[in-house]
């Protein structure tokens, strides 16, 4: 299994500002994922952070709003830019790893999340 830490654990920000969330993994992984979980809702994938190439964004999410860096195989950052109250959510990163039902399947390990409140 992978151990994932995120910084900050929570923050309160003013609208129009930006916040960078860090995700650190205790082992090297090829792909990392960033999710958003709005209050009382399920998780929505924002993007896949690929090491050595640009992130792949899901429909409805754009690089200008959520720039992602992936400088190495154990670290990634997600920036929430020009924030508005609608960006108030929990942001989670995850990585794939072994533990699935077969050698060909994997599970995902999630960080504890960053709770962001935008005023």
Partner 1 sequence: LAKTTQPISMDSYEGQEVNITCSHNNIATNDYITWYQQFPSQGPRFIIQGYKTKVTNEVASLFIPADRKSSTLSLPRVSLSDTAVYYCLVGHMEYGNKLVFGAGTILRVKS
Per-residue exposure over 14-32, b if at least 16 CB sit within 10 Å of its own CB, e if not = eeeeebebbbebeeebebb
From candidates 85, 86, 104, 119, binder to partner 1 by CB under 8 A: 104
Binding of partner 1 at residue 73 (CB under 8 A)?
Answer: no
DSSP SS3 for 86: helix
Query: Structure tokens of 1?
Result: 């299994």
From candidates 48, 51, 79, 81, binder to partner 1 by CB under 8 A: 48
From candidates 101, 117, 118, 119, binder to partner 1 by CB under 8 A: 101
Q: Rule CB under 8 A: which of 11-40 touch partner 1?
A: 30-31, 33
Binding of partner 1 at residue 74 (CB under 8 A)?
Answer: no
Q: Shortest Cβ distance from residue 38 to partner 1 (Å)?
A: 12
Closest by Cα among 64, 70, 83 to 19 = 83
d(CA 108, CA 40): 21
Write out the residues near partner 1 by the rule CB under 8 A. 4, 30-31, 33, 42-45, 48, 58, 92, 94, 96, 99-102, 104-113, 115
């Amino acid at each position: 299994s992978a151990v994932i830490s995120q910084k900050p654990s929570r923050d309160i920000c003013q609208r129009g500002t930006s916040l960078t969330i860090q995700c650190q993994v205790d082992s090297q992984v090829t792909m990392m994922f960033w999710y958003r979980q709005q209050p009382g809702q399920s998780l929505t994938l924002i993007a896949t952070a690929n090491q050595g190439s640009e992130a792949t964004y899901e429909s409805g999410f754009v690089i200008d709003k959520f720039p992602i860096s992936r400088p190495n195989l154990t670290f990634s950052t997600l920036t929430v830019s020009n924030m508005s109250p609608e960006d108030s959510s929990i942001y989670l990163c995850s990585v794939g790893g072994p533990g699935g039902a077969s050698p060909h399947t994997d599970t995902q390990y999630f960080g504890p999340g960053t709770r962001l409140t935008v005023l």
